[in-house]
Structure 1
Amino acid sequence: MSMIKVDARGLGCPQPVIVTKRALDSMAEGMVTTLVDNAVSKENVVKFASNCGYGVRVEEESGDFSITILKGTPGEEEEVGQLTGSVYLITGDTLGRGDAQLGALLMKAFFVSLQEIQPKRIFLLNSAVKLATASSPVLEAINQLKQKGTQIMSCGTCLDFYGLKEQLAVGEVTNMYVILEGLNGPDRVITL
């Protein structure tokens, strides 16, 4: 069994996920242990590994996290997460170009209507991360989607840029690598 250690301490988002993926890609089966020095990196690596269907174990020691990922026989991870559905990439807190007030009304109508479609995943980028915060005019609709099983994922860099990470009220923080992976998957992608 192959064993690889990856030291991703001090690396910024999404580098810990990328170096972990490269290590996993380099082996048919085996174990990768990734070291990270913050909770966000830990969560991102764990989400990536879990979404790929790998076994994951996390240990904390002196503020660092050791994430052990077990990659089984080839093809095992491909059977997990191959559900098809729609993925929405939303890049603004209003819908369309033009009047901002009209755009806010259209966004609210969009999320109410989206209840009938039930997408698999919604990625929020740039100012769209505001839609998942406590003061969002569409928070109730997004919460309903999440309760029905839609993954709501907000860009961590975007939340930091707008100073909103502590105000995130629904869904989870993610990184650009996970977003790109979701956009390149088997699901249909709709961008707003």
Structure 2
Amino acid sequence: MNKQVDARGLSCPKPVIETKKVLDQLTEGSITTIVDNEVAMQNVIKLAKSLHFDVVIKEVEKDFYVQMSKGEAGEEILCEIDQERDLAILFGSDTLGEGSEELGKILMKGYVYTLTEYTPYPKTLLFMNSGVKLTTEGSEVLGYLKQLESEGVEVLVCGTCLDYFHLKDKRAVGSVSNMYAIVDAFHGSKNRVTL
């Protein structure tokens, strides 16, 4: 049996997310993801290979058909991924990366959205400096953060930072926290990422 994911026209990271949803449920057979650009094709291939799926690519007109079937280690790897993730992510900015601020906001929105689709969820999200702006009214990622919080992800927001930016009354997700609690949560996690 071959399942199909038509990801043509979807922007990054949606082709990968939609493919992963089907791969996670695949017990036998294969899946074919159809994409309309090389970047999406490469991203889907990387996902499949990271999960130890065998990959065959066909190009039909301008579309790429990425067929994936479970390799020998596929089942074992998928079980490993389902384990709880002891991960703390520290958001020190409301943009992702350096360079264009506009692009940084787009990338941050894509990153936080992807967190809602990528399981297991992180244990804790920490917001400092201009990163606290992500937790306030009008933030483009507020809905995603609320969704993560409703799924049990701890969201801690630096109170000093909210005061500095005059945003304490506009916080719409998470708990106002202090530096000790933030350091304790960050260093108490097995895995840590700073953005």
Q: Give TM-score, length-normalised by structure 2.
A: 0.55
Question: Which residue of structure 2 aligns with residue 190 of structure 1?
Answer: 193
Change (3 A) 1:135 1:186: closer
Q: Distance in 1 between matches of 2:149 and 2:189?
A: 21
4+ residue runs over 6 A deviation:
none
What residue identity is the alignment partner of 2:182?
I
143, 148, 155: which is aligned to 1:145?
Answer: 148
Match of 1:86 in 2: 87
Say whether 1:133 aligns with 2:175: no
Using the TM superposition, name which of 180-189 and 95-104 deviates more: 180-189
Aligned to 1:102: 103
Sequence identity (%): 41
Separation (CA, whole Å) in 1 of partners of 2:132 and 2:189: 24
Distance apart, 1:98 and its partner CA: 0.5
Structure 2 residue ranges without an equivalent (≥5): 1-83
CA contact (8 A) 1:84 1:186 kept: no
Amino acid at match of 1:104: K
Call closer, same or farther: CA 1:184–1:97 in 2, change over 3 Å.
same
- How far apart are the structure 1 equivalents of 2:141 and 2:174? 13
Residue identity opposite 2:135 in structure 1: A
Q: 2:9 aligns to what?
A: none
CA contact (8 A) 1:94 1:106 kept: yes
Structure 2: which amino acid aligns with 1:171? Answer: G
In structure 2, distance between residues paired with 1:106 and 1:84 = 23
Separation in structure 2 between the aligned mates of residue 191 and residue 184 of structure 1, nearest angstrom: 12
> How far apart are the structure 2 equivalents of 1:157 and 1:188?
25
Q: Which amino acid aligns with 2:162?
A: L
**Which position in structure 2 is the counterpart of 1:181?**
184
Deviation at 1:84, TM superposition (A): 5.8
2:91–2:125 contact (8 Å) kept in structure 1 = yes
Partner of 2:157: 154
The 5 A counterparts of 1:114-125 are: 114-115=115-116, 116-117=118-119, 118-125=121-128
Quick one: distance in 2 between partners of 1:106 and 1:164?
23
Give the superposed CA RMSD.
1.2
The 2-side partners of 1:91 and 1:125 are apart by 5
Provide TM-score, normalisation by structure 1.
0.56
* Contact residue 85 and residue 122 of structure 2 kept, 8 A: no
| TM superposition shift of 1:184 | 1.7
Aligned residues: 110
Give the equivalent residue in structure 1 for 2:26.
none
Pairwise CA distance, 1:187 = 2.3
CA distance in 2 between partners of 1:84 and 1:100 (Å): 30
- Tell me by how many angstroms 1:165 deviates: 0.4
Structure number with higher helix proportion: 2
Give the 3 Å change call, closer, same or farther, for CA 145–97 of structure 1 in structure 2: same
Q: Distance in 2 between matches of 1:113 and 1:145?
A: 11
